[in-house]
Amino acid sequence: MIGYLAASLTGAWRLARLKPDGFAWFDLSADGFWRSFLAMPVAAPLFLGFVAAQAGGGPLDAGTLVVQLLSYFVVWCLFLGLMVPFARFFGLGPGYVPFVVAYNWAQVLMLMLFLPLTLLRAAGVMPGLMNVVIVLLMAFGMVYVGVLARFGLRADWPQTVAVVLIEMVTSYAIPELVDAIF
């Protein structure tokens, strides 16, 4: 299992560095597709740390943490679900499995990058600089999703932009909706 996790994160890291050979590190079989969803429980503690840091170190009740975690996973699954008709409509179906596998592990990698910065900002370490770095990392995240779409789905540029926009809308609108409800 450790080897699988290491290989998957290596693939995600290589793709983040614009190296299309990152896909060679993933198990792109049908079993590998389903196994890539192990990224969700791997990401969960990282995400909860992120949520706690975002709250400024104040106490968070268990209900808030559960709602935030469920919201995160709903966004994740909703985006991948929206990609099914998108990929079919544009004839990108053969690239769906590589895209999903890479996207799943990219979520873990992004949280591994975001969490330390968010903790530093919450601790008051150069908060202005941390804000700038976090915004730059968010921009990198959008580019990263585009790279996954371009290399994984083999999408053309307009399709790549559409994938990034769909991911942005789901990633930002759903949590806002959840916050408004709860």
pLDDT digits (tens, 9 = 90+) for 51-99: 888 776 667 788 888 888 999 999 999 999 999 999 999 999 999 999 9
For residues 22 and 14, what is the distance between their CA atoms, to the nearest angstrom? Answer: 5
Q: Which amino acid is at 144?
A: Y
Q: What is the CA radius of gyration of the chain?
A: 16
Is the dihedral angle over the CA atoms 98, 153, 174, 12 positive or is it negative? Answer: positive
pLDDT digits (tens, 9 = 90+) for 23-55: 999 999 999 999 999 999 999 999 998 888 877
Helix 127-148 vs helix 157-181: angle between axes, to the nearest 10 degrees?
130
* 3 state DSSP class of 61: coil
Domain ranges of the chain: 2-181
Pair 98, 11: CB distance under 8 Å: no
